[in-house]
Amino acid sequence: MSIVEDLLFPISFEDFRREFFFRKPFAAPNKACRFRKLISWPLLSEILESGYGDCWLPIAGRLPDEATGSLRIENAMHAFNEGRTVLIRHSECSHPALKNIADDFAAFFGDPIDIQIYATPPGEEGFDWHYDIEEVFVIQSSGEKEFRLKIPRELPPLNRVVLPKSLDFNRDFIGGEIRCHLKAGDWLYIPAGVWHKARAITPSFHLSVGVMSSGRSR
């Protein structure tokens, strides 16, 4: 059974695809228990001490102008304690455990996969309101985080390549804001184009698996 099928069980992927995929968010409590405590300071220490260079320290919901690059674990923990999120981009390239996850998703979807790791201190947001151009599976590994979502009337077309120059084209939202409280072992699907942001309630570690879908259906 693939990771996606395991996350969805007992719902079939066909039912998920018909009702939610490309369309609207979906959350499932306690369906990602296999990932509890995977993303943690020990894993981040392994990645950072290997010299991996795609590390960032967002602050006040925004990325700095340039990547932090390589980062020592003590510097990452200090920044975290100062209220900054530790973000490791393209982390499937940084550690075998994350590559295995990316390979599993890639085999299931047949599309490119990008994994990002977020370590966020309590009360802080990694990013302000934004949307992604890929289908995103958020897996809460440790701690708790509240996601806020807004669904636009018009989602972006499939086969996206880059974000549009203006993020204002789809600010006409359907209904009210959706809130989703994730605890360790929970997961959340966010379709491309759905606006969202998240605030850590406790020290929070999650991984975001992005599927750059070609629009093929299984």
List pLDDT tens digits, range 6-21.
999 999 999 999 999 9
User: How confident is the prediction for the chain on average, in pLDDT?
Assistant: 91
Please compute the mean of the pLDDT values over residues 201-214 and round it to a whole number. Answer: 94
Phi, psi of 109 (to 5 degrees): -90, -25
- Using CA atoms, how far residue 120 sits from 17, 45, 89, 141, in Å, is 31, 15, 14, 12
Spans of all domains in the chain: 3-57+66-211
Superfamily of domain 3-57+66-211: Cupin (2.60.120.650)
210: pLDDT strictly greater than 50: yes
- What's the pTM value of the predicted model, to 2 decimals? 0.92
165: pLDDT strictly greater than 60: no
- Using CA atoms, how far residue 181 sits from 6, 22, 83, 86, 95, in Å, is 21, 22, 21, 21, 28
140 is written with which tokens?
Answer: 């809460």
pLDDT one-digit tens code per residue, 44-73: 999 999 999 999 999 878 887 776 788 999
pLDDT tier at 162, thresholds 50, 70, 90? low
